[in-house]
Structure 1
């Protein structure tokens, strides 16, 4: 089978149309703390509900489109370019731009604690990678990863939408959603490893899959596994 190599070089990334938005996003998150100092939090419930359900529907479309494209290719590691699948890659790239509004809403609502390194790294890197995939690698073998990510985001944004509708009694899925994300990245890593060994995949795919697994696993450990440190008697006295 003939393979097509597209090395990930710095000029490839800088020439992407999403690169200016990537830089603006990093600047926005870096200085977001000043907004909290100078303004009051906004109530954006209608926008949150609309945004989350739009993202849910968009993710369902890309999940269906990517899965259909991989199935029609007949081979998990196919590098055949089709107009139909290329369009799905473009829609996926558009959804990653829309998903940046997650961070904008956090800033406007003064949810600074939620703007973690994991959050910023994940959103900013997916912006560049989705654009890179559409521009250079609209292949079924890449669509496999996008399909898994879209499936997770269907559930994720449906959860966010329900949480926005009933903020006082949200569904208790957070732990299971994080588990789902970790499983996704483990599957990505396994597919990438096999692809690197046998089908000349870019080695970067291994690094990215591993980095996301580590970051999400670290979040899961601190959020759901590690028990909070119990206060010592003197701490209790000080807090009274």
Structure 2
């Protein structure tokens, strides 16, 4: 038992020692343990939450949802601008961009943008809590949970080991998509009278699918290109995006194409 524990500690030490020393002091970055604990709590909430709410009335979160969703629009817009401006000023390449591990102002600015993107994935776990409190249990799908939980780990690895470089492309595109997505949720939270202006709901899933195709092309190209960026990270992104594409594609088919055929 003691030997197994020593092995765990040894692996943990290698994980924390091999990261980017610039980002180690930042919140939740140095060790994977805090993020793992957050994920375990998240899974417990997903399991226990609907059971605790079963015999309770849905919680009225209208004001909270309006503030939360439009705050996320602001955060997503900020991250998009940071990724765009910093990559532009740094003359980043869309095809092959190694990580700049220096302490130059632009390198640190990109690393901070990546940290905010990682931290936004922690904040977005709130989406699940709001579904549970409002008794929208049908929204707690495999797609929803798989999209929110493991993505947090992916971006913890990103900010820990590769805060910049090729990572900026995912942050740039996804921040834009989320600004659009949370705009929809914020408008929807204003009340039923907004529904006539939200005809573009189905296109949100289309945007998600388009971004996943872009990520697959981007990471797939860099798996075979001669680029000074870890293949392990490109492979992680590629594999995760394939899984998400299947889940989002199934959701789009079930929600729109199948219903259209039935009509």
Task: Please indicate, yes or no, whether the TM-score normalized by the shorter chain is above 0.5.
Answer: yes
Report the counterpart of residue 128 of structure 1 in structure 2.
Answer: 153
Whether 2:248 is the aligned partner of 1:221: answer no
CA–CA distance in 2 between the matches of 1:167 and 1:42? 17
Report the counterpart of residue 166 of structure 2 in structure 1.
Answer: 141
Q: CA deviation digits over 1:91-113, x for unaligned, max 9?
A: 11221122111111111111100
CA 1:229/1:139 → structure 2, altered by over 3 Å: closer, same or farther?
closer
Aligned residue pairs total 222
Query: In the alignment, which of 183, 191, 210 is matched to residue 210 of structure 2?
Result: 183
Task: Summarize the alignment of residues 189-228 of structure 1 with structure 2, pairs less than 5 Å apart.
Answer: 189-198=216-225, 199=227, 201-202=231-232, 203-227=235-259
Question: TM-score normalized by structure 2?
Answer: 0.79
Q: Show structure 2 runs of 5+ residues with no match.
A: 1-10, 17-30, 102-106
Worse overlay, 102-111 or 69-78: 69-78
Report the counterpart of residue 48 of structure 2 in structure 1.
Answer: 31
Report the counterpart of residue 76 of structure 2 in structure 1.
Answer: 59
Report the counterpart of residue 174 of structure 1 in structure 2.
Answer: 201
Report the counterpart of residue 17 of structure 1 in structure 2.
Answer: 34
Report the counterpart of residue 125 of structure 2 in structure 1.
Answer: 100
Whether 2:159 is the aligned partner of 1:159: answer no
Report the counterpart of residue 22 of structure 2 in structure 1.
Answer: none
Contact in 2 for aligned 1:85/1:138 (Cα 8 Å): yes
What is the CA-CA distance between 1:146 and the residue it aligns to? 1.3
CA–CA distance in 2 between the matches of 1:227 and 1:51? 31
CA–CA distance in 2 between the matches of 1:95 and 1:167? 28
What is the CA-CA distance between 1:68 and the residue it aligns to? 2.2
Report the counterpart of residue 87 of structure 1 in structure 2.
Answer: 112
Whether 2:85 is the aligned partner of 1:68: answer yes
CA 1:47/1:127 → structure 2, altered by over 3 Å: closer, same or farther?
same
CA–CA distance in 1 between the matches of 2:80 and 2:34? 24
CA–CA distance in 1 between the matches of 2:47 and 2:69? 24
CA–CA distance in 2 between the matches of 1:115 and 1:211? 17
Contact in 2 for aligned 1:22/1:124 (Cα 8 Å): yes
Determine helix, strand or coil for the equivalent of 1:152: helix
What is the CA-CA distance between 1:36 and the residue it aligns to? 2.4
Worse overlay, 69-78 or 99-108: 69-78
CA 1:88/1:16 → structure 2, altered by over 3 Å: closer, same or farther?
farther
Q: Would you identify which runs of 4 or more consecutive aligned residues in structure 1 move more than 4 Å?
A: 10-14
What is the CA-CA distance between 1:229 and the residue it aligns to? 8.6
Contact in 1 for aligned 2:79/2:117 (Cα 8 Å): yes
Q: Show structure 1 runs of 5+ residues with no match.
A: 1-9, 231-240
CA–CA distance in 2 between the matches of 1:60 and 1:176? 19
Contact in 2 for aligned 1:45/1:164 (Cα 8 Å): yes
CA–CA distance in 2 between the matches of 1:227 and 1:209? 26
What is the CA-CA distance between 1:168 and the residue it aligns to? 4.3
